[in-house]
């Protein structure tokens, strides 16, 4: 079955610790995205990547880093510089950036601070 | 500054009736609009979309209407079913495929 897999489903971070959220897709999509959702708010774009070895900052990139070494994978690292990391993180992918094809989402990772 | 607004945090509808979810936007450069449905602890699921060159798109029980002059779109669900109870997000596309999301509307369909 084609889809987007995010792991882990729940993650806890200690103060001063970096954590990495995994996102893998087998849809052969070129573009991948990371969003953050906070209670009562819409999804906000953290980073996106249109092609392997290339990525751009979204609206709230501070305190986060990404890599895109493989087409299938787009991991997100929440660094200790992110002062309010508690949120629901969603990864998405799409065929390509300039097309009328929707983004498809994974089931998310909920990150909490210990 | 919210470019996409869903002004109704929640909506309650009787089963079998019509559900109308509304969305307003401010950026006239948006060229494509989407509606996503989300259940708790899951990712959003794509529901229906509309290009800015159209004013209506229909898919089964779901119809999206776009009024460009008013910068307003709406999602109609007819007839509403209990399984439609979820959070509905309106999204608008900027350049490339960057999406701007509204805050969502919780729909409750009562049986």
Q: Tokens 């290339």 identify what position?
A: A54
Q: Taking the C-alpha atoms of B31, B32, B33 and B34 in order, what is their torsion angle to the nearest 10 degrees? A: -160
In A, minimum Cα distance to B88 occurs at A42
Per-residue pLDDT band for B104 (boundaries 50, 70, 90) equals: very high
Pairing verdict, β A109-113 and A10-13: parallel
For residues A15 and A59, give the distance between their C-alpha atoms in angstroms, rounded to a whole number: 24
Min Cα–Cα distance to chain A from B79, Å: 25
**Residues pairing with B58 in the sheet:** B63
Summarised one tens digit per residue, pLDDT across range B55-94 is 999 999 999 999 999 999 999 999 999 999 999 999 999 8
Chain B residues touching A44 at Cβ < 8 A: 101
B44–A43: do the CB atoms touch at under 8 Å? yes
- Please give chain A's pLDDT, 114 residues, in tens: 679 999 999 999 888 899 999 999 999 999 999 999 998 888 999 999 999 999 999 999 999 999 999 999 999 999 988 989 999 999 999 987 666 788 999 999 999 988
Q: What percent of chain B has pLDDT over 70?
A: 98
Give every CB contact of residue B77 below 8 A, 6+ residues apart in sequence.
B18, B19, B20, B21, B61, B62, B84, B107
Of A96, A98, A105, the CB nearest to B43: A105
The residue to which tokens 């509905």 are assigned: B88
HSE-up of residue B83 (Cα within 13 Å, Cβ side):
2
The CA distances from residue B69 to A3, B52, B73, B111, in Å, are: 37, 11, 11, 37
Q: Does B4 touch chain A (CB under 8 A)?
A: yes
**pLDDT tens across A36-67, in order?**
999 888 899 999 999 999 999 999 999 999 99
Nearest-Cα distance to chain A for B102, in Å, is 5
Average pLDDT over residues B10-29: 97
DSSP per-residue codes, A23-74: EEE-S--SEEEEEEE-TTS-EEEEEEEEETTEEEE-TT-TTEEE--SBTTB-
Check A97 against B97: CB less than 8 A apart: yes
């Amino acid at each position: 079955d084609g889809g987007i897999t995010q792991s882990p489903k729940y993650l806890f971070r200690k103060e001063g610790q970096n954590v990495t959220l995994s996102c893998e897709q087998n849809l052969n999509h070129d573009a991948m995205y990371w969003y953050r959702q906070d209670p009562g708010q819409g999804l906000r774009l953290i980073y996106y990547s249109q092609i392997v070895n290339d990525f751009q900052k979204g609206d709230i990139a501070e305190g986060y880093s990404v890599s895109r070494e493989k087409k299938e994978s787009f991991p997100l690292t929440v660094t200790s510089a992110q002062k309010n990391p508690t949120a629901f993180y969603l990864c998405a992918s799409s065929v390509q950036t300039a097309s009328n094809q929707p983004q498809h989402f994974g089931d998310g990772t909920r990150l909490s601070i210990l | 500054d919210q470019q996409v607004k869903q002004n109704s945090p929640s909506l309650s509808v009787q089963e079998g009736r019509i559900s109308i979810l509304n969305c307003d936007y401010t950026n006239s450069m948006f060229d494509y609009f989407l509606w996503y449905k989300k259940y708790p602890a899951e990712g959003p699921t794509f529901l229906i979309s509309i290009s800015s060159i159209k004013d209506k798109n229909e898919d089964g029980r779901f119809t999206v209407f776009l009024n460009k002059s008013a910068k307003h779109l709406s999602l109609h669900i007819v007839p509403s079913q209990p399984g439609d109870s979820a959070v509905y997000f309106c999204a608008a596309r900027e350049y490339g495929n960057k999406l701007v999301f509204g805050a969502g509307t919780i729909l409750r369909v009562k049986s």
